[in-house]
Amino acid sequence: MKNKFLLPPNLLYGSAILAIILYFVFPRFNLVEFPHNLIGLIFMATGAGLNIIAWQKFMRVGTSERFEKSKKLVTDGVYRYSRNPMYVGGILILAGLAIFLGNILAFISPILFFLVIDRVVIPIEDEKTAGDLGEEYMEYKKRVREWI
C-alpha cells in the first residue's frame, strides 16, 4: 500500500491519539467517572489479547499482517470466527479507551476507525488477498464473516 497512513496500526494509533485529544480539549463531555471508567480497561485488555493471538497466528505460518503478498491463508483459531480479528481487537481497544477516558466525544475514535477500516482498508485487502490466494480465499470468505 502506497499510503503508509492507511496501515491499520497507524490508524489505530491515530484514533487513540484523537480520543485523548478530545478528552483534553472537551473536558465538559467527561461523563463516566472513576471507578466506573475502569471497565474500559477490560475492553482494552480483551482487544489487546485478541490482537496478540491473531498476530501470533500470522507469525507462526509466515503470513505478514502488512500489505505484502499473502503466502498462506490462516483459517483456524480466532480466524474461524472473524476474517479480521485484529480489527475487532482494535475497535475493542479504542472503545475501552473511550470508556476509560469517560469522554462521550472519545467514542468518535472507534467509530472513525471502524469506518476507515471497513470502507477503505478491508476492500483493498480483500482484493489483494483474492488475487494472491484465489479460490481458497473466496471459499473462506463465504464461510467466515468479515467482522464477527
pLDDT digits (tens, 9 = 90+) for 97-146: 999 999 999 999 999 999 999 999 999 999 988 998 999 999 999 999 99
Question: C-alpha cell of 42?
Answer: 477490560
pLDDT digits (tens, 9 = 90+) for 120-134: 999 999 998 899 899
Taking the C-alpha atoms of residue 135 and residue 42, their distance in angstroms, rounded to an integer, is: 38
Percent of the chain with pLDDT over 70: 93
Domain ranges of the chain: 8-143
pTM above 0.75, yes or no: yes
Class of domain 8-143: mainly alpha
Q: Which of 90, 106, 86, 84 is nearest to 12 (CA)?
A: 90
Q: No. of H helices and E strands in the chain?
A: 6, 0
Tell me what pLDDT residue 5 has. Answer: 57
The single-letter code of the amino acid at 2 is K
Tell me what pLDDT residue 66 has. Answer: 62
